[in-house]
Amino acid sequence: MDAPTSTALVTRAAGPRKWLGLNIGEGCSPRFPSRANDRPPAQTRLDPCAKEWNPFKERAPEEDRCLFLTFSNGYPLAENQIVTFFTNKFGPCVEKVYVHSPEPTSASEPPLFGKVVFTASYIPAVILCGAKQTKFMVDGKPLWCKKFEPKKKQALGHG
């Protein structure tokens, strides 16, 4: 008499189905060994029923994808200059750019800082190359970049 196949062993079990100690949920099926090679699959800690990860839907928080930008006094940069610079140098990686505009009462003062938000959290690290800050020349104007630190994290770090 033939021994029952792995499929028969799993389907005959009462309650939740198990294979190598893993619960097999609805809509999932374990990989069963072939008849030629009667070994169970290698053990894994991955959940076979886990939802697929999609980097476009499940991105890092904005604060983890940012660089703080500073401009030299008298040499401000516009949002479109910053987007064009990073796109030309690193590809389509910019989600949005904020350039701080001074209060209307001091309209003669140019912006001195801004923030760039990238599409992925690894991009600021690539741009900084392990340095605390880095300098670029954009259209002949200096642009300093450093890791963006939200005010709430700054307060915790200096408290």
C-alpha to C-alpha distance for 24 and 102, rounded to whole angstroms:
59
Band (27; pLDDT cuts 50, 70, 90): very low
Helix, strand and coil percent figures for the chain, each rounded to 5: 25, 25, 50
**Structure confidence at residue 135 (pLDDT):** 97
Report, as an integer, the average pLDDT of 35-50.
Answer: 72
**Structure confidence at residue 45 (pLDDT):** 82
**Structure confidence at residue 143 (pLDDT):** 98
Report, as an integer, the average pLDDT of 53-70.
Answer: 86
- How do residues 75-89 score in pLDDT, each as one tens digit? 999 999 999 999 999
b/e sequence 47-68, b meaning 16+ C-beta within 10 Å: eeeeeeeeeeeeeeeeebbbbb
Report, as an integer, the average pLDDT of 9-28.
Answer: 47
Which DSSP symbol is given to 48?
T
**Structure confidence at residue 125 (pLDDT):** 95
More confident residue, 137 or 58: 137
- How do residues 90-149 score in pLDDT, each as one tens digit? 999 999 999 998 777 566 788 999 999 999 999 999 999 999 999 999 999 999 999 999
Domains and CATH numbers, the chain: 1-50 (no CATH), 62-157 (3.30.70.330)
Mean pLDDT of the chain: 78
C-alpha to C-alpha distance for 141 and 38, rounded to whole angstroms:
68
pTM for this entry: 0.61
**Structure confidence at residue 110 (pLDDT):** 87
CB-count burial class (<10 Å; 0-12, 13-18, 19+) for 2: exposed
